[in-house]
Amino acid sequence: MIVTPETIRQVIRSWLTIEVLTPQSAKDGWSEFAADKQGQQRNKKATTQDDPAQWEAPSDDDAPPWPLRHTVDSQASPTPQQPEANSDPDEPRPWYLVVLGALPAQKAFQRLDEVFSDDADEDRTERPIQGHILGATAILDEWGILVPDSLAIASFAWGLGHMLCGGAITDLVAWDDQERDLKECFASILTPLDPDGRPRSLTWRDLRAAAAHLGDKLNLPADLWTVTPCTVRMIRKHPPNPEILSSFLLGDLQRVLHEASHLPAAAAAYLGLTPPAQPWDALTDRARLSDLLQPALFPLGRWPGPGLHPLTLLQQAAVNAIVRDLDRTGLAAVNGPPGTGKTTLLRDLVAHVLVSRAEALASLEDPCRDLSRLDLMDFAIVVTSNNNAAVENISLELPVRAKALDASMWRDGGLDYFGHTASAILGLPETAAAEERAWGLLAARLGKADNRRTFFRTFWWDPDWGLNDWLNLVGWPGTLRNRDKLPGKLAELDPPPRRPQARGNGKRPATISARRLTGAAASGQSLRTWPRPCRSCGVSKRRCPKPRPTSTPANATLLRRRKRSKQRSGTSRCSPDRKRRKLQSSPRSPLSRRTDWRSCSGPGRGGSTQPISVPKWTD
């Protein structure tokens, strides 16, 4: 069979039809729905506890659970006494998830089966579905005002109404345009304004009228459309994400449908437009297998797995072929029953990506200037599956020592890459055994919104293990914010390097001025192979003889005080002898305890040579 772009369009239209008529949220009951959202039902009263008896749809005149502001509806009942809404943006506040409409699941599928009735259909199966299918939802803030872009409408509700009113099945591919028009129309309806032109609070009369109008626009019969059956109150800092009521594949499928003649290489290969030119069998074609095992095709990285067992012959050939063919684009399929080494093969591909990223970073001449030119997403891997266990085999096992590394790598070799932060992201307790903790910040479980929020909060903003504060101490240790803030646990266990040291770890210059080398050799002074700036006297980086002491909070405070004293005195000169005596005379000075002072000769300011006292570096 020859696959053409028109063949692809026909396949995508059928695929789109199935996705449109597939409901995304079928719940067994409203109580479980509220529990899944970690909220409480607030259908009619604002102070009642959760009770199944309270899951009765409100009427137009019932008081909403939020305080009314700028209300012009004279027929709405007054609201019970409510506490003032929270004005602090950093404090949690109430948010309301309102189900505008729902469809009885079993009855909806019965009607849909009647439209596609076919007695000769051998694949027909019964659907013992209970509960309701969410048709439309909206999120309101603490005042009952619609949160922008929070309205969600289910494709199943529109598709069912379209088919029940006699619409053509081929028109279901137009859902993308219909969704955009419906959201624009009803977002305007659900944002009424007061006489001053400001959004006002919604009442049950507003919500029920909008929901009934939406059911009419969707062409749904009254017995299939339940108006405002449920409202869930949630306490959070930020508004919840909009509900996903339609397949997340619909947007991508629409794009493929419109661009079927100009698809990327991976999509074209997946859909059959560019099949393999010459399929071959690795078990019988030894010549091609030998070509894949040439040393030049082996990747530079290899996963140090438990036992340090190498890949088998065919596994290594597959890794070499994937690294060679998928450097920038393409598609590769690896099939095999459970336990045949697919995850082991994938680990070596992860190692190759990590080494490739390290090579790209090391090639930067000036990381501060050139890092923005490097797209780190070129070295990212997305692991996705319709089975959560398959994804967790990668995202939850690769960072853990006992599951991913040989003991010699982390216990003897000290392999660690922000392991403390990785353990916090995985939720591992600090009291866990050493082998059960994470070794590297390598993978994370994302997917749903809660997982993404938890990851970002821990990875970046956590006061103890987040990288935001740690990286700030590397780049800007002397700023007011970093000076007055107590270091977190990560900074205590893994002190951040000074900026010259951090830059030098990536690339250290191999040359040093002959004058400094001669002066150091004459005095026995040990010199670093990368320049270090002097923050006290401002002398040129390569000519300043004053080393900086070990980075500790006490030293940083002392250096800042010295700098402010120098600025107040109006002088930019420094006297190493005087400062040495002053620092050594202080019983609390960390320099008197952490450095070994020796007298030597070295180049002074202005290119002259004078006796000075410098501390020996104690790295």
- The yes-or-no verdict on residue 539 having pLDDT over 80 is no
Question: Which range is least confidently modeled, 118-127, 182-191, 435-444?
Answer: 118-127
Cα torsion through 335, 336, 340, 345, rounded to 10: 10
Higher-confidence residue of 597 and 23: namely 23
According to the model, what pLDDT value does residue 392 have? 79
Pairing state of beta strands 93-104 and 40-41?
A: unpaired
Q: How far apart are CA 91 and CA 104, in angstroms?
A: 38
* Run of H or E including 96: strand 93-104
Residue 260 three-state SS? coil
- Per-residue model confidence (pLDDT) at position 520: 35
Distance CA 100, CA 188 (A): 15
387-396 pLDDT, tens per residue? 777 787 788 8
The string of DSSP letters for 460-485 reads II-TTT-HHHHHHHHH-TTSHHHHHS
pLDDT range class, residue 200, cuts 50, 70, 90: very high
| pLDDT value at residue 58 | 82
Distance CA 255, CA 258 (A): 5
Q: Residue 453 has what pLDDT?
A: 84
Q: pLDDT (tens digit, 9 = 90+) per residue, 490-527? A: 888 888 887 666 666 655 443 333 333 333 333 333 33
Q: What is the mean pLDDT of residues 254-264?
A: 89
Cα 239 to Cα 447: distance, rounded to the nearest angstrom: 18
**φ, ψ at 17 (rounded to 5°):** -60, -45
pLDDT of residue 118: 58
What was the pLDDT predicted at 30?
76
Hey, what long-range contacts does 481-490 have (CB within 8 A, 24 or more apart)? 483/556, 483/557, 483/560, 487/553, 488/462, 488/463, 488/464, 489/420, 489/464, 489/465, 490/418, 490/420, 490/421, 490/464, 490/465, 490/466
The larger pLDDT score, comparing residue 570 to residue 384, is at 384
Per the DSSP assignment, residues forming a β-bridge with 101 are: 136, 227
> Is the confidence at residue 1, as pLDDT, over 50?
yes
C-alpha atoms less than 13 angstroms from C-alpha of 289 in its C-beta half-sphere:
12
Residue 268 confidence class, pLDDT cut points 50, 70, 90: confident
Q: Which residues contact 92 (CB under 8 A, 6 or more apart)?
A: 86, 235, 236, 237
Q: From residue 616, how far is each of 56, 535, 550, 609 by CA, in Å? A: 78, 18, 11, 19
How far is Cα 122 from Cα 82, in angstroms, rounded to an integer? 59
The confidence score (pLDDT) of residue 502 equals 65
Give the residue, 275 or 262, on which the prediction is more confident. 262
Least confident among 186-190, 195-199, 291-295: 195-199
pLDDT in tens, 80-134: 444 444 556 668 899 999 999 999 988 898 898 888 875 545 555 555 567 889 9
Q: Is the model more confident about 318 or about 83? A: 318
Summarised one tens digit per residue, pLDDT across range 280-294 is: 888 899 999 999 999
Predicted pLDDT of residue 534: 46
Instruction: Compute the average pLDDT of residues 458-464.
Output: 91
Q: Report whether 506 contacts 361 (CB < 8 A).
A: yes
Each residue's pLDDT tens digit, 169-181: 989 999 989 999 9
The neighbour count for residue 334, using CB atoms within 10 Å, is: 14
Percentage of the chain modeled with pLDDT above 90: 26
pLDDT band at 423 (very low <50, low <70, confident <90, very high): very high
Q: What is the mean pLDDT of the chain?
A: 76
Q: What pLDDT is attached to residue 206?
A: 94
Q: Which of 10-14, 248-252, 301-305, 560-564 has the lowest mean pLDDT?
A: 560-564
pTM: 0.65
What string of DSSP letters covers 346-366? Answer: HHHHHHHHHHHHHHHHHT-S-
Q: Over 90: is that where the pLDDT of 49 sits? A: no
So what's the pLDDT on residue 26? 61
Beta bridge partners of 417: 440
pLDDT at position 159 over 90: yes
99 vs 133: CA distance, rounded Å: 10
Asked whether the predicted pLDDT for residue 470 surpasses 80, the reply is yes
Residue 485 has pLDDT above 80, yes or no: no
Q: Report d(CA 52, CA 114) in Å as an integer.
A: 33
Confidence of residue 562 (pLDDT cuts 50, 70, 90): low
Per-residue pLDDT band for 204 (boundaries 50, 70, 90) equals very high
What value does the mean pLDDT take over residues 573-597?
A: 46
Share of the chain above pLDDT 70, in %: 71
pLDDT band at 211 (very low <50, low <70, confident <90, very high): very high
CB 189 within 8 A of CB 138: no
